[in-house]
Amino acid sequence: MSIDYKGRVAIVTGAGGGLGRAHALALAARGARVVVNDLGGARDGSGGSASAAEAVVAEIRAAGGEAIANGASVTDFDAVQAMVAQAMDAWGRVDVLVNNAGILRDKTFAKMDLADFRLVLDVHLMGAVHCAKAVWPIMQAQKYGRIVMTTSSTGLYGNFGQSNYGAAKMALVGLMQTLALEGAKHDIRVNCLAPTAATRMTQDLMPQDVLDALGPEAVVPAMLVLASEGAPTRTVLCAGAGNVEAAHVTLTQGAWIGLDGKAPERLAELLPQVKQREGEMVPESGAAQGTHEVGRAMAKAGRATA
């Protein structure tokens, strides 16, 4: 099966360098018309320049593709709406949104200023919310849309000194879960990508020999699948160095601990069983937890009265 984007319009945020640039170039190479968005700020979000986005647009055009540059900050909803309007004025539709823009403000939680915590949430989480909100009515009207959120192993599994980044990245998984459910009837599919790649975001976090082995281009195939016509939905793919894995938020079978005054002690005793992963499930929605728990409680009550 060949994956192509002929006739599609894509918006890639944070596309002036690193992963975003690689995503934009790959989408354009496969036929997409691309809005290359980048504020042009530093890694911590300070400053701004249109030159990074314009350079990537020049690369795409030199290769025979179509692209336009945009310098909106994803934290500014009015600017994001203007970016989407720019795409609509140029090409009349928006099919793909890759939420890639991000910054780092790393410190241990004890030393972190709350302003740095909020800013990272604003860029990663609210930036993705702003972009998704701006394209959502368009995708609903055309009965087609593909949205890729950039999550992270830091959000999924934690990383020392990145409480703000991890909180924002895991929040994007929660956003994906609900948007995928709400978008299903309009063929809007929403997925997450957790990349491992050498970019300016990671240049101080890994040894140089490891960085040399991790090119952003190795993450691109996962993005191309998650944003394609045949894409899955509610899928979290982890990708790096030529490898792809899937991550899941699962629910174990657990244990019934009762409702009496000894329930806490019973839970402490049964905690290994509660955490036991044999037979764990991936719920279809949040309601599945309640269904599982009530079903177990009803069955327990039935056995007690039998």
Of 5, 144, 157, 165, the catalytic one is: 165
In a domain, 256, yes or no: no
Burial class for 92, CB neighbours closer than 10 Å (0-12, 13-18, 19+): exposed
For residues 238 and 268, state if they share a domain: no
The verdict on whether 165 is a catalytic residue reads yes
- What CATH number has the domain bearing residue 42? 3.40.50.720
**Number of domains comprising the chain:** 2
Could you list the pLDDT tens digit for every one of the 306 residues in the chain? Answer: 789 999 999 999 999 999 999 999 999 999 999 999 999 855 655 655 688 999 999 999 999 999 999 999 999 999 999 999 999 999 999 999 999 999 999 999 999 999 999 999 999 999 999 999 999 999 999 999 999 999 999 999 999 999 999 999 999 999 999 999 999 999 999 999 999 987 555 566 667 777 777 889 999 999 999 999 999 999 999 999 999 999 999 999 999 999 999 999 999 999 999 999 999 999 999 999 999 999 989 998 777 665
Q: Which domain holds residue 300?
A: 263-305
Q: Quick one: 182 and 38 in the same domain?
A: yes
Q: Tell me, yes or no, whether 203 and 241 share the same domain.
A: yes
